[in-house]
Amino acid sequence: MKKQDITVSSPLLPDLKDFVPYLEDIWKSKWLTNNGEYHERLEKALCEYLGVEHLNLFSNGTLALIVALQALKISGEVITTPYSFVATTHSLWWNNIKPVFVDIEPETFNIDPDRIEAAITPATTAIMPVHVYGNPCRVDKIQTIADTYGLRVIYDAAHAFGVCRDGVSVLNYGDLSILSFHATKVYSTIEGGAIICHDRKMKHRIDFLKNFGFAGETTVVAPGINAKLNEVQAAFGLLSLKVVDEAIARRKEMAAAYREGLENVHGIHFLPEVEGLQQNYGYFPILVDDAKYGMRRDELYELMKSHQIMGRRYFYPLISDFPTYRGLPSATRENLPVATRVASQVICLPMHHNLTEEDVKEIVQIIKNKS
Ligand SMILES: *Cc1c(COP(=O)(O)O)cnc(C)c1O
């Protein structure tokens, strides 16, 4: 029998038996989208699960980012990180905002707050950091800078589903946070996303913005967009919520197995476990220091592929290296030395709830043996 690929991620699927009655219910009600019952139930359930006050569901995380910027009327320049998925910066581009890239910290791969002030100009209106791999940014330092300079903070928290520090969700920081519920994420609604905000008025404003700006049958209060989540996906999301804890527990075991297996491999580095942090184990990134390891990152990546192990070079290339952005003054490698190095060394190893101990052992052996 042909060996199956070991994929980098695997979608979390609710029990199909549980899904059928939900579908029958939706069919009976004939209410398929526009703030249906399942949509309302999922918003409530997610607020409770995540420990946040207000949450707006979206059809995907990218539209959540774009609308978050609209909701706060952000313009001019926004300080952000080049070390993320392209959607972070694309959301600025779609709002006609100029991205200003700031380098990342070597310890967390998140935007380095100590470099933010130097990037502020009279045109700066906001900071858009990313909690990369679900590791929280230095939120207090970022907020202090924002308060001092009168800036908004919008977190791309696409990786930070369920992440808590000392029992408090990281989604409670900043003016707004966005989540992605894409099928490759820890928790999914197939496609989907959310904006987390801190007051009811903002929640209502976002409700309008994601539905063409409609505030009533004949009242359009803003040039909104269509970014609604439908009932079938909301029902899928409600059921996925029942199995997500189990999936995260499984991921945690696999992360521990990787740590143990790779601990003493010369030239292979990974992020340390952080005290008091409740993680979701969405990713398992390693850095390949080729001088010490004796093999280049891309060689290891290809070697794994030849064994049908599908790692991913998240995040390579940097967003600042794509044609749309590489001409920006802040996009130079000299401005982004840490991000440039990390992007050249990183591989995200397969990490999901369907991974087995044997899979991890095999991957560790390949990395150890370099063959
Ligand atoms: C997945 C992701 C997004 C985009 O979310 P979609 O739901 O796929 O639109 C944005 N930012 C980051 C960091 C992501 O990983």
Q: For residue range 19-31, list pLDDT tens digits in order.
A: 999 999 999 999 9
206 CB-side CA count, 13 A:
28
Tell me if 350 sits within 8 A of 310, measured CB to CB.
yes
**Which ligand 1 atom is nearest residue 181's CA?**
7
Q: What is the distance between the alpha carbons of residues 169 and 23, in angstroms, rounded to a whole number? A: 32
* Consecutive H or E run containing 148: helix 139-149
What is the CA 81 to chain-centroid distance, rounded? 13
Tell me if 154 sits within 8 A of 175, measured CB to CB.
yes
In the chain, the amino acid numbered 124 is T
Cis amide leading into 317 (omega within 30): yes
Ligand 1 lining (C-beta closer than 6 Å):
60-62, 84-85, 87-88, 130, 156, 158-159, 180, 182, 193
Domain ranges of the chain: 9-102+109-240, 244-369
Q: For residue range 57-102, list pLDDT tens digits in order.
A: 999 999 999 999 999 999 999 999 999 999 999 999 999 999 999 9
Lookup result for tokens 């924002």? 146
pLDDT-derived band at 285, boundaries 50, 70, 90: very high
Q: What is the distance between the alpha carbons of residues 136 and 165, in angstroms, rounded to a whole number? A: 8
Q: What is the distance between the alpha carbons of residues 155 and 147, in angstroms, rounded to a whole number? A: 15
Indicate the Cα dihedral angle 351, 268, 340, 163, nearest 10°: 40
Q: For residue range 223-251, list pLDDT tens digits in order.
A: 999 999 999 999 999 999 999 999 999 99
Pick from 62, 69, 155, 233 the residue to mutate for probing ligand 1's pocket: most ligand atoms within 8 Å of its CB: 62
Nearest protein Cα to ligand 1, atom 7: 61
Tokens found for residue 51: 């420990």
The bridge status of strand 164-165 relative to strand 168-169 is antiparallel
Tokens found for residue 90: 């694309």
Cα(62) to centroid(ligand 1), Å:
6
- What single-letter DSSP state applies at residue 320? G
Q: For 174-194, what is the mean pLDDT?
A: 98
Fold held by 9-102+109-240: Aspartate Aminotransferase; domain 2 (3.40.640)
Cα(10) to centroid(ligand 1), Å:
16
The bridge status of strand 98-101 relative to strand 54-58 is unpaired
Q: For 245-259, what is the mean pLDDT?
A: 98
Nearest to residue 155, comparing CAs of 348, 146, 316? Answer: 146
Written out in words, the top-level CATH class of the domain with range 244-369 is alpha beta
pLDDT of residue 1: 58
Q: What is the distance between the alpha carbons of residues 86 and 343, in angstroms, rounded to a whole number? A: 14
This prediction has a pTM of 0.97
